[in-house]
Structure 1
């Protein structure tokens, strides 16, 4: 007999907690990155000092295999693509096409502003020169993460990119062949068989491969990973840019009595499938729906392949049901929670979704589940977690671009504003700043 699943409940009905209290009352997972820094720092330092040799040694220690070289041979990429299941290839091609279509519309154009006659400021958008795109291994295989990282980088105009993914013992030290095939399908010709903290460090510092070929360092590292990857990103930040410190994945569903509990339960399970630390949160003004979702979870769990992983995630402190008085209060809750993935399954879902201010991505209505966004919606699935959606965005073309201001002033335009520059420089007790302007119009004594 299946043990019933009952999501832990937080009852906010009849209450209006302040934002700080609300944030602390909501189910929230997370990991303590600081706790693993002492373990990750020696890995990063070893790779900094000894490059690929250290990275391969740690790969053997953590992944149980040491490939002959870091860089995956071109032949292996071609063979992986040739051996890819036709149905998977067709699905990846659809995902790539739709993701390219969405991200192509994110391209920036230069903006030229004539501040005054003769005074022009241009914002020029320039792609990062070289990027490292991390694709995790672990509980699952992630060719979709290859797509989500590579497509926006290519759309931004990045000229040099490398995909790093853990070596797999069952594949002779290469990354998973489906990951290699996805890279080949996207035209990526540089893949490194290295994972974990050592991958981040090698991307940041570069080195020399076992065959004597250079492994060029990157300027930016993107892509999700486990706590050790996150810690290494933190340690290397500054030397390189990073997209975010990703935590365990999460879904929140704002639903009312019109929602189908079978759909809601399936979507909560789909996110819990990722990891025992994954968060699945239902926010509803319908106690009847909450009961029906618990019953649907119990009914669906026996046919789930990763049932124990899912059960652990759903019954953890990071998951639960939040009962609210109405959808307006529900919106306040989901905005405070700022989920990585937020589904709106309510009456007039589009109007409700338009009132959301904090979410990594919003999925509107009964036929836009998160799993659609994971693969074939065209949106990006590399999104902020742990409440970071209150201040940060998901991966996009913009991630791989830098805005550079180009200032052009004529002599007349500078002379016209010179007095104001001098006045502000003197007010800040930085007279040499003002003198740098005066020197252009006054003889120095």
Structure 2
């Protein structure tokens, strides 16, 4: 990790640059994949599965996962993992259930009533990465709120392995949250299938889920064509800020937990203590050697930084400017300092709240804005699966009360048909006995 000691504030923006990769040909490649799927449907999905996932097309005669495969998967998941998944589901369901809104009709003036109704998005697509890591936890993070919201059709896509099979933990997790429409499709081609539909995969109204740069580019491409997506998202990231009360081993573990996601992940460590900075360096060097994905983590660390600052307030200012996906505050007064945080996807307070708990089982959602988008976007929540429709009704008395106001405003905007829609009604009311 690159180390910076007391950088001037004018230098912060340059330090905060996320890793840059050459994606000059990415959009062109993704557009070609999307267009091919749009025109060739399932045939294109099997072709790309062979090209990218090394799956023989004959193994994908049926892109949909059958009931027998789901039942088999249940036998391949250990009792311990089954129990862990069930506990995570319970916490995630409790947290998201509490986000339900009960908006009561409001009489804004005599005879004028307005209200809002939450309606589930009818068809949603969940993309679950399954390449270097089968993210069955994302099935829970997306499937549970979709289920609570009442989405009528929940379509799950995830890449198969070379034998044309889906990781059993993904299938088990899906079965536990009530998802039965599962398809063996990964990458940008999966996003195309969800956006346009194929002979096997139904088209949806909104697409959720993380993925590599191809998946991300595909989501952004179809969003420009009118298909909603959860948020712009890219490589995973964490920022840890710590004072002298922090444990360097904990901090190193937290940094590595994000670094192992991929070579394009970024981790940032802020502290006001030189000794802690040096201790974390040593812990990182020691712990990374024991990771199965150590080469990936080391590549991510090369794109990452440690920054020594003068105070907690400077650390908070730096963090708010960076707007991290995940933020860990390892201070002795973390709760109080958290009040000053305004830009972050999800925040973890204190020495015993690793980011990992949010990734899996504390109850909060782990699908979060990255690359600074936390300045304007929230993470996935129950609201992500809901659209909100407003209603209003006016009594004759209500229209008489409000009519003159609307007429004046419509005339000022020179929209006389708008005015007339009110004026005709007011005139009719004048004629009534």
Name the TM-score class by shorter chain: over 0.9
1:337 partnered with 2:322: yes
Aligned to 1:423: 408
Out of 124, 131, 145, which is 2:124 matched to? 131
Partner of 1:163, secondary structure, is strand
Partner residue in 2 for 1:55: 45
Q: 1:120·1:409 contact (CA, 8 Å) conserved in 2?
A: yes
- Name 1:84's counterpart in structure 2: 77
2:342 is matched with: 357
What is the CA distance between 1:350 and its match in structure 2? 0.9
For 2:396 and 2:22, locate their aligned partners in 1 and report how far apart those are by CA, in whole Å.
56
Q: Shift of the alpha carbon at 1:27?
A: 4.7
Indicate yes or no: 2:4 matched with 1:10.
Answer: yes
What's the offset of the Cα at 1:441?
2.6
Distance across 2 between alignment mates of 1:222 and 1:34: 25
8 Å CA contact 2:193–2:202 kept in 1: the answer is: no
1:103 Cα shift? Answer: 0.9
**Equivalent position SS for 2:425:** coil
- For structure 2, which runs of at least 5 residues remain unmatched after alignment? 429-433
Contact 2:195 2:227 survives alignment (8 Å): yes
Q: Describe the superposition over 1:77-111 as per-residue Cα deviations: whole angstroms up to 9, x where unpaired.
A: 11101221111111111111111111111112233
Secondary structure in 1 matching 2:107 = strand
CA distance in 1, matches of 2:53, 2:387: 36
CA distance, structure 1, for counterparts of residue 16 and residue 308 of structure 2: 11
Pairwise CA distance, 1:333: 0.5
For the 8 Å contact 2:147–2:178, the answer to whether it is kept is no
Residue 377 of structure 1: how far off its partner (Å): 1.0
Where do 5+ consecutive residues of structure 1 fail to align?
A: 1-6, 210-214
Moved more, 373-382 or 411-420: 411-420
Match of 1:208 among 199, 202, 215: 199
Find the counterpart in structure 2 of residue 369 from structure 1: 354
How much is the aligned-residue C-alpha RMSD, in angstroms? 1.5
For 1:147 and 1:32, the matched residues in 2 are separated by 33
Q: Decide whether aligned partners of structure 1 residues 304 and 96 sit closer, same or farther in structure 2, where only a CA change above 3 A counts.
A: same
CA distance in 1, matches of 2:96, 2:238: 23
Matched, 1:28 2:28: no
1:160 aligns to what? 153
> Quick one: distance in 1 between partners of 2:96 and 2:393?
32
Asked if the contact 2:257–2:356 (Cα under 8 Å) also holds between the matched residues in 1, the reply is yes
Trace 1:248-267 onto structure 2 (pairs within 5 A): 248-267=235-254
Q: Which residue number corresponds to residue 3 of structure 1?
A: none
Q: Report the equivalent of 1:4.
A: none
Question: Greater CA deviation, 126-135 or 200-209?
Answer: 200-209
Q: What displacement does 1:330 show?
A: 0.6
TM-superposed CA distance for 1:185, in Å, is: 2.1
Change (3 A) 1:34 1:231: farther
Q: Distance in 1 between matches of 2:298 and 2:17?
A: 16
| Residue number among 297, 303, 311 corresponding to 1:326 in the alignment | 311
User: Which whole-Å CA distance do the structure 1 matches of 2:426 and 2:24 have between them?
Assistant: 55
Q: 1:71 aligns with which of 54, 64, 77?
A: 64
Contact 2:205 2:228 in 1 (8 A): yes
- Counterpart Cα distance in 2 of 1:128 and 1:167: 27
The alpha-carbon distance between structure 1 residues 173 and 158, as it changes in their structure 2 partners (threshold 3 A), is: same
Q: Distance in 1 between matches of 2:408 and 2:130?
A: 58
Listed as ranges, the matches of 1:118-267 within 5 Å are 118-169=111-162, 172-209=163-200, 215-237=201-223, 238-267=225-254
Q: Detail structure 1 runs of 4+ shifted over 6 Å in the superposition.
A: none
How many Å separate the matches in 2 of 1:35 and 1:345? 41
| 3-state DSSP of counterpart to 2:39 | helix
Matches of 1:89 and 1:173 in 2, distance apart? 23
Partner of 2:398: 413
Deviation at 1:192, TM superposition (A): 0.7
Displacement of 1:257 in angstroms is: 1.3
What is the aligned length?
424
